[in-house]
């Protein structure tokens, strides 16, 4: 017997679909996207809600929306990394992986075009 509902499976580039966005948060995601793409100053955004309110699901859908807009992002689960003695290293490693992957793809394209 399961006591919790299994998490919704969201593909990395799926975004908000009518099938999975049952709480209709696509508009909020679009407004947040508009905010971060149009602000000229530094910006810190916090998503706060009680446990089970759908923060992780929203973020994964929003990350798909960002990917559709060709905006790179990382997903960092602070709760899953709570055991880390140096939490900065864990998030820095995620950022490094994104940078390495992004520039690695560009270097590969340049190398192919030179050949």
Task: Quote the mean pLDDT of the chain.
Answer: 85
Instruction: Select the more confidently predicted residue: 112 or 20.
Output: 20
As a whole number of angstroms, the distance between CA 98 and CA 72 comes to: 8
The domains of the chain are located at 1-72, 74-115
Query: Does residue 33 surpass a pLDDT of 80?
Result: yes
Query: What is the structure's pLDDT at 113?
Result: 58
Contact 106, 92 (CB under 8 A): no
Tell me, yes or no, if the pTM score tops 0.95: no
How much of the chain, in percent, has pLDDT values that exceed 70?
89
Query: What is the structure's pLDDT at 73?
Result: 87
Query: What is the structure's pLDDT at 109?
Result: 63
Query: What is the structure's pLDDT at 104?
Result: 74
Query: What is the structure's pLDDT at 5?
Result: 73
* pLDDT tens track for 44-97: 888 899 988 999 999 999 999 999 999 888 888 888 888 878 888 888 888 888
Contact 55, 107 (CB under 8 A): no
Average pLDDT over residues 85-114: 76
Helix boundaries (H) for 2-86: 26-38, 55-68
């Amino acid at each position: 017997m399961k006591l919790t509902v299994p998490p919704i499976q969201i593909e990395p580039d799926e975004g908000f679909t009518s099938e999975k966005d049952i709480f209709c948060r696509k508009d909020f995601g679009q407004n947040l996207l508009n905010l971060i793409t149009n602000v000229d100053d530094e910006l810190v955004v916090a998503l706060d809600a009680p446990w089970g309110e759908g923060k992780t699901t929203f973020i994964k859908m929003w990350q798909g929306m960002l990917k559709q807009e060709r905006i790179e992002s990382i997903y960092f689960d602070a709760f899953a990394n709570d055991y880390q003695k140096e939490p900065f290293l864990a998030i820095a490693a995620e950022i490094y992986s994104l940078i390495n992957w992004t520039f690695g793809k560009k270097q590969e394209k340049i190398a192919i075009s030179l050949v």
